Amino acid sequence: MKNKNLKILFITSEASPFVKTGGLGDVSSALPQSLMELGNEVRLVLPKYGAVDERKFKIHEIVRLKDIPIHLGNEIELVSMRSCFLVGNKTKVQIYFFDNQKYFGSRKGLYQDVNTKKDYPDNHERFILYAKGIMELIKKLGWTPDIIHCNDWQTGLIPAYLKTVYGDLEILKDTKVVFTIHNVEFPGVFPKEVFKLTGLPESVLNEITVNDGSKISFLKAGVVYADAVTTVSEKYAEELCTIDELGGIIKNTLKKRKNDFYGIINGVDYSVWNPENDKYIPAKFSIKDLSGKTENKKSLLEYLKLPVELDVPVIGTITRFAEQKGIDLIEGAIEDLLNLDLKYVLLGQGDKKYQQFFEKIQKKYPEKFAFYYGFNEELAHLIEAGADMYLMPSKYEPCGLTQLYALKYGTIPIVRYTGGLADTIIRVNGNDANGTGFVFKKYEVEDMMKEIKRALKLYQDKEFWIKLMKKAMSLDFSWYNSAKKYVELYKKLLKDVK
Ligand code: ADP
C-alpha cells in the first residue's frame, strides 16, 4: 500500500468557487487540489444548490448517474450527479454535483433561507438524502475510492451507512472513511424522531443520541463510525476533549476515540490569497516592494467612503456574526476602540441584532468606522490587502483562515489565544520582531483593548513595523505540509488492508 497513489472521494457541503459560507468552502477547494498535487486522484462531491452557477462552471449531465431513486422515509426522491472540473494551476479535480431540485436546486441558501436567515426546517431530510444518495451513487460510479473523506455534520451519516447498511458492499470492503470536524458549533442536532428517515439500524440510534436521548446528532455519527476523526488544529483537538463548553455533546465520544483523533492544521491556497497575484485587489505588492499596500489602503478607504488619511492605522475584520467569533467582545469594545486614533472596517453577516447595532455605531462614527453587511468576496480581499492590522478575537476558533491570509498581506493579526489562533500566531514581545502578531488571553474587553493599544504603539515605530510586516509575509502556511499529513493518515488506515 505504501507507495500507491490513492483514490480519494472528498465529500463536502460547500467548496469555493462554487459556493461558500466560510472556511469549509476554502478548505474543500484547496485540500483536494493539494492532495492531487501530491499525486493522488481526488474527486469531490457537493450539493448543487440553486446558488451554483451552472453556465459559468459548465456543469453537465452524467447520463449513467441520472434519476436514481432514493428512499426517504415513505417517499422516493430522484437524485442525479452532474459534473465539471475545478481547474487549478497544476491540477484538475473532478466535481460531482449532487442534484435534487426539491431539496437543493430550488434553494439559494446552503443551510439557511437567505431572506429569513433561519435554518431550513428540513435540513435533516436534505442531508439524510445527501448521505444516502451518495452511497447509492458510489455503487454506480465505476470508480472505487480507497478513502472517503467526509466533512462536518452534513456528511456525518455517511460513515454510519458505510459501517452498517453498506457494510457488506464488496466494492467498498477495503475503503476507509475519515471524518473531519471543521466546527462543533454546528453539531447537526435534530429530534430523535427523524432517525426513521435514515433507514439505519436501531444500533446506530443508540450511538448517536444526545441530550438525554431526546435528540440525535449527525456530527456524532461521523465521530462514532469513521475509521479516523480529524479536526483542523492541534490546539482545537485538545480543547474539544477537555473543555466542556466546547466539546459539548461529543466531548466524551471524542475522548473514547482519542487514539484515532488527530489535529491537522488547515493551509492557505496562495493561488487565491496572495498580494502578488490577487485578482481582486487594485495594486499588487510583495515583500520586495510594499508600495502597493498603501494604494490598497487608499482604495479600501475610498470603497467604504471613509476619509483617506493614510497615516492613521486601519484595523479590519471579516467574519460571520456568531458568538464563537467574538462578536460580543467587538460589540462591547467598539466605542473604546473608536475613541483611539484609528479606523475600523468590519465586513460580516449573520444575526440581525448585530447588523442593527453596527449600523447605529456607523452613524455615530462615520469618519472612523465602516460597516459592510453581507457576503462580499472582493471586499474581503481588499480588507486583507488594505488594512494594517486584522482583529480576530474569537471565543473559540477551530483553525481560522483569515488571520493566515492577513499574514501574507502584511496585515498584522490581533487574536485571542484559542484553537488555531494559538497554533498559528506568535505573540510579539517588546519590539524584538520574533513574533508574528498580537495575542491576548482572556475573553474580556479590557485584555483585548490592552493588546490593541500595544499594537498601535508599535505601529508608530515604522522601521519595526515594516520588519514585522515582512516577517509575516514570509511565513509559509501553504497546504503542502498539511496535505502530506492527511496522506500519511490515509496510508496508515489502509496499511492493514492489502
Ligand atoms: P469560519 O469558517 O469560521 O467562518 P475562517 O476564518 O476559517 O472562519 O474562514 C472564513 C472564510 O470566509 C474566509 O475566506 C473569509 O474571507 C470568508 N468570509 C467570512 N465572512 C465573509 C463575508 N461577510 N464576506 C466575504 N467573505 C467572508
Ligand 1 pocket at CB < 6 A? 22-24, 26, 318-320, 347-349, 375-377, 380, 399-402
Distance 21 CA to ligand 1 centre (A): 7
7-267+480-494 and 291-476 in the same fold: yes
Query: How far does residue 326's CA lie from ligand 1's centre (Å)?
Result: 14
**Cell 483523533 belongs to residue:** 261
- Separation between Cα atoms, residue 386 and residue 376, nearest integer Å: 15
pLDDT of 2 reads 44
Q: Taking the mean position of all CA atoms in its chain, how far away is CA 403?
A: 13
By residue count, the chain amounts to 498
Atom of ligand 1 nearest to the CA of 392: 6
List per-residue pLDDT tens for the chain, 498 residues long.
Answer: 445 799 999 999 999 999 999 999 999 999 999 999 999 999 999 999 999 999 999 999 999 999 999 999 999 999 999 999 999 888 999 999 999 999 999 999 999 999 888 999 999 999 999 999 999 999 999 999 999 999 999 999 999 999 999 999 999 999 999 999 999 999 999 999 999 999 999 999 999 999 788 999 999 999 999 999 999 999 999 999 998 887 788 999 999 999 999 999 999 999 999 999 999 999 999 999 999 999 999 999 999 999 999 999 999 999 999 889 999 999 999 999 999 999 999 999 988 899 999 999 999 999 999 999 999 999 999 999 999 999 999 999 999 999 999 999 999 999 999 999 999 999 999 877 789 999 999 999 999 999 999 999 999 999 999 999 999 999 999 999 999 999 999 999 999 665
Q: How far is the CA of 400 from the centre of ligand 1 (A)?
A: 9
Interval between CA 454 and ligand 1 midpoint (Å): 26
DSSP annotation of 63:
G
173 alpha carbon – ligand 1 mean position (Å): 38
Please state which CATH class domain 291-476 belongs to: alpha beta
Asked if 39 and 90 count as a contact pair (C-beta separation under 8 A), the reply is: no
The pLDDT score that the predictor gives to residue 3 is 52
List 17's β-bridge partners, or say none.
Answer: none
Q: How far apart are CA 6 and CA 324, in angstroms?
A: 36
- Top CATH class of 7-267+480-494 equals alpha beta
188 in Cβ contact with 156 (< 8 Å): yes
Of 21, 183, 280, 320, best ligand 1 pocket probe by most atoms within 8 Å of the beta carbon: 320
Instruction: Please report where in the chains the cell 484609528 appears, as a residue.
Output: 342
Q: So what's the pLDDT on residue 489?
A: 98
**10 Å Cβ neighbour count for 290?**
15
Q: Is there a contact between 38 and 484 (Cβ–Cβ < 8 Å)?
A: yes
Task: Report the helix count and the strand count for the chain, using DSSP H and E.
Answer: 17, 19
CA distances from 196 to 71, 73, 77, 213 (A): 11, 7, 16, 15
What pTM was estimated for this model as a whole? 0.93
Domain residue spans of the chain: 7-267+480-494, 291-476
